Amino acid sequence: GDSVTQMEGPVTLSEEAFLTINCTYTATGYPSLFWYVQYPGEGLQLLLKATKADDKGSNKGFEATYRKETTSFHLEKGSVQVSDSAVYFCALSTRAGGGNKLTFGTGTQLKVEL
Amino acid sequence: GAVVSQHPSRVICKSGTSVKIECRSLDFQATTMFWYRQFPKQSLMLMATSNEGSKATYEQGVEKDKFLINHASLTLSTLTVTSAHPEDSSFYICSARAVLSNTDTQYFGPGTRLTVL
């Protein structure tokens, strides 16, 4: 079945540091890939997405490139801020079977300190 | 655009009572809504897929008689936790997919924190 594997957290960084959160996936067919962010006490917000191989999703300084050859969708940001502290979820969606179900990774907590 | 609301945001109830959670798409119509459950420091677990005007499709292991889902209109789905017990305490999140959307994007509500005493 479909699955998403994320690096375990928490990840603790100093402000302005470079961020990478690894995400790999297994899926049948050609999934769409997503990164969602969850701030404390809130629901999930779509951060970025990519729908086909080699697409790059980007938003708020975050980027991720859909790599079919390595089945990866790593999240990167060149300079993190304290306000980026949150839990980040990698997810995939396929149109097979039951439709556009999202399969989530376990989430990676990011803590950014001054 | 694409705002999804949930009500209530927090609810505390006694064991044995039923609790209803509403999920609304505020500025778009959603043929499909999804209900998730999130345990502390864990990922979201899909409970069921709700389609307007038809019965919900439950994931394996989710009791449909305990978690009643009604998707009565294109902007409203409700989840009723019947005869709630402390182990039902969790964060419940809904999401919605727009009608005639050619994308896979789901828009999430802010979640409902249920505490059963």
pLDDT band at B10 (very low <50, low <70, confident <90, very high): very high
Tell me the average pLDDT across A10-27: 96
Asked if B34 has any chain A CB less than 8 Å from its own CB, the reply is yes
Q: Are A8 and A105 in contact (CB under 8 A)?
A: no
Is the pLDDT at A4 greater than 80? The verdict is yes
Is the pLDDT at B102 greater than 70? The verdict is no
Q: Do A104 and B43 touch (CB under 8 A)?
A: yes
Q: Do A100 and B32 touch (CB under 8 A)?
A: yes
CA distances from A67 to A53, A60, B104 (A): 6, 21, 18
Tell me whether the omega of the peptide bond preceding residue B8 falls within 30 degrees of 0, making it cis.
yes
Asked if A76 has any chain B CB less than 8 Å from its own CB, the reply is no
* Per-residue model confidence as pLDDT tens digits over B30-83: 888 999 998 877 788 899 998 888 889 999 999 999 999 998 888 999 999 999
pLDDT band at A11 (very low <50, low <70, confident <90, very high): very high
Q: What pLDDT is attached to residue A41? A: 75
Asked if B90 has any chain A CB less than 8 Å from its own CB, the reply is no
> How far is Cα of residue B22 from the mean position of the Cα atoms in its chain?
7
Min Cα separation B104/chain A (Å) = 6
Is the pLDDT at A97 greater than 50? The verdict is no
Q: Are A47 and A93 in contact (CB under 8 A)?
A: no
Mean per-residue pLDDT of chain B: 89
B21 CB-contact burial (10 Å; exposed 0-12 / middle 13-18 / buried 19+)? buried
Asked if A49 has any chain B CB less than 8 Å from its own CB, the reply is yes
Q: What pLDDT is attached to residue A15? A: 97
* Per-residue model confidence as pLDDT tens digits over A40-75: 877 888 899 998 899 999 999 999 999 999 999 999
Higher pLDDT, B27 or B116: B116
Min Cα separation B59/chain A (Å) = 10
Higher pLDDT, B104 or B24: B24
Residue to test with chain B: of A8, A34, A44, A45, most B Cβ within 10 A: A44
Q: What pLDDT is attached to residue B48? A: 94
Is the pLDDT at B17 greater than 70? The verdict is yes
pLDDT band at B101 (very low <50, low <70, confident <90, very high): low
Q: What angle do CA B50, B51, B53 make, to 5 degrees?
A: 125
Q: In terms of CA atoms, which chain A residue is nearest residue B6? A: A43
Tell me the average pLDDT across A84-107: 82
Q: What pLDDT is attached to residue A98? A: 42
Q: Are B115 and B14 in contact (CB under 8 A)?
A: no
Q: In terms of CA atoms, which chain B residue is nearest residue A40? A: B110
Mean per-residue pLDDT of chain A: 91
**Residue in B4, B6, B106 nearest the CB of A102:** B106
